[in-house]
Structure 1
């Protein structure tokens, strides 16, 4: 009788362990999870192994620069590892993430998969939307993704972080007066350079006067007059959107007072 009782207890414990394990696997694989990117305090897919795998590649693709309040399309691609199915968790520091289709869901301000996806041509891709914050500056998109063998056990699964996607969030108003006192005329190198399609040109003028900022192509033709007005002394930023320009080398010139300064920039699409 005692032996039978012990046998029943052992069976019950075994059954409980199995059900808990299945529940953990089902939760982590089937419905996704948030809080596992480098933004969070517990990064990584720890239920699928404590160490990341360099054999799994996770790439976030999308614009490098976005105007304040604008929305852009992004994609996340997983390759490598066992990759019978793949899942992900995506977060941003200050921008707003939203789903682009039914493969992702939003939870706690982050995105995770509704169900793991099977690869197409060796990769798993999730599409999503990102809306830039209201204030200019830098923002970051983070992601952690899983490459699973889909056996129902986590022992063969692998995961990795994406390289953080840094986004330049720029003002859509064109020229910005930084309100800084300056002592000389200067024209800074645009940033980023090369750029696609947005870059920032900074310049300073020590006294008020008619100021021009023009862009020429490699043949010397004026293709854009960015500034042509009376400006007070100070440090200025101009946000140039080159969406309507072709890839190539361009020259931008600051003219104010008796000063003319020219620098080169490269648009790469």
Structure 2
């Protein structure tokens, strides 16, 4: 019996340590939890295992329309929940452009954005700013985002998270106009009819003058 109690105690300590290590590891950021791949921070191994914890509100703000190749500025805003510190993960749909960080609170990893360290709430919110460079052709792009609101005790017991998406319509195309021929292509511009070697009407003037001179000489010979 004593051995069984000892084993259960060790198992409990190991389980607690595992949750603590998981929370600590994710404090430096994590990818693959934005919702794009079907996983979010609501998973039990992250910050959503306690249904009694207050659920935060996660919002994506920024333009919902971009021209092809244009850069748009966006923000992930987290409010509610324990509201002590926050973390995030943002991804964009396949062929949806390029995500870039705008500050030291974010990092780019595997084409996604995540926090570099838990960010303290300020004025009731945690805000992460970033940019998206739109793709070069028209399409609908989706931003996927998941955000944590945590109490900062290096344990996920009382933490919670939420996820959201934002659709962006990309219009136009940044490719060159196909109707404008480039030098060296198989579609050269039409020849210039005013070229000196051409057959324009002005090019026949010297020949007419020569014929007039010959005709005048023939006329003089006949009358001599």
TM-score by length of 2: 0.67
CA contact (8 A) 1:48 1:159 kept: yes
CA contact (8 A) 2:140 2:168 kept: yes
Structure 2 CA distance for partners of 1:121 and 1:160, relative to 1, 3 Å: same
Q: 1:105 aligns with which of 104, 107, 110?
A: 107
CA distance in 2 between counterparts of 1:13 and 1:84 reads 30
Structure 2 CA distance for partners of 1:25 and 1:71, relative to 1, 3 Å: same
CA RMSD of aligned residues (A): 2.7
Tell me which residue corresponds to 1:142.
Answer: 144
CA distance in 1 between counterparts of 2:161 and 2:16 reads 23
Q: Secondary structure of 2:169's match?
A: strand
CA distance in 2 between counterparts of 1:24 and 1:55 reads 20
Higher strand share: 1
Greater RCO (CA < 8 Å, at least 6 residues apart)? 2
Tell me which residue corresponds to 1:257.
Answer: none
Higher helix share: 2
Q: 2:18 aligns with which of 8, 17, 20?
A: 20
Structure 2 CA distance for partners of 1:6 and 1:33, relative to 1, 3 Å: same
Which has the larger Rg? 2
CA distance in 1 between counterparts of 2:61 and 2:121 reads 17
Q: 1:127 aligns with which of 111, 129, 153?
A: 129
Shift of 1:10: 6.9
CA contact (8 A) 1:58 1:145 kept: yes
**Residue correspondences, number:** 170
Q: Secondary structure of 1:88's match?
A: strand
CA distance in 2 between counterparts of 1:18 and 1:129 reads 38
CA contact (8 A) 1:54 1:160 kept: no
